[in-house]
Amino acid sequence: MRELGNLWKLRHQNIVQLLGYCYEIKHEVMDFCGKLVPAENIYRCLCFEYMNNRSLDKHLYDEGCGHDWQTRYKIIKGTCEGLKYLHEGLESPMYHLDLKPENILLDKNMVPKIADFGISKLIHIDQTQTATQTYLGTRGYQPPEYIENNLISNKYDIFSLGVVMIRIITGYAGYYRKDSMSSQEFIDLVHENWRKKLQATSGCVSLEAECHQVRRCVEIALDCVQDNRKERPTIGFGNLKKVIRSTESAVNTELL
């Protein structure tokens, strides 16, 4: 019911579309403390648009294989747009609180749509942070302030977004490479790996422009996973906006 309430008001091209809700009441005789009693079982169902390419976690590959850069960039861009709508496009902001590849669905054109709003929270405009005793999210996508102090804010989703972005760019295991080197070394390594792949790809529109996109996306993703939440960007400010705008003229990408 929480997910139904959260989804009912959402209308955006990068949010999975709720099509309907239905339920069935089934009358049954059940055993209760050794006695047979009449009971009602309620079966509920949410109906969503069909997403041909399933969830993003089925499409995470390292730089050397899988989808080309523009497909990955399209997924990053659309996910950022969907999260921007949740944080800034509603009368009261909504925090997703479980953003991960399994909850990003892909349609037949590989357009990403954020899904699974079962634990999302609507936040009053004057409420920037809150604490909770309820376990939220998924290990590996939770920020340090939540793990240590149960604190949630818009920076919770930003941390999760950073993890997702790195895994889109480098594959599922690529995220852990950053722990064995400096941020600059990680950026240079990913950038060089993508440059080699793009140089070998006949469909590369503009080598330098796409390499620049790769570097900027990795830099921004690392900003998003800063341990100190105050050092992370917000979805509609500064570097995260550049995720969509950094190479506008070079690749002729449709922008926000």
Catalytic residue chosen out of the listed positions 31, 57, 62, 98: 98
In contact, 175 and 57? CB cutoff 8 Å? no
Q: Residue type at 205?
A: V
Q: Which two tokens stand for residue 167?
A: 């895994």
Name the 3-class secondary structure at 116.
Answer: coil
Q: Is 179 a catalytic residue?
A: no
Phi first, then psi: what are they for 80, rounded to 5°? -60, -40
Which among 53, 52, 62, 24 has a CA at the least distance from the CA of 40? 24
Distance CA 217, CA 77 (A): 10
Between CA 182 and CA 147 the distance in angstroms is 24
The set of catalytic residues is 98
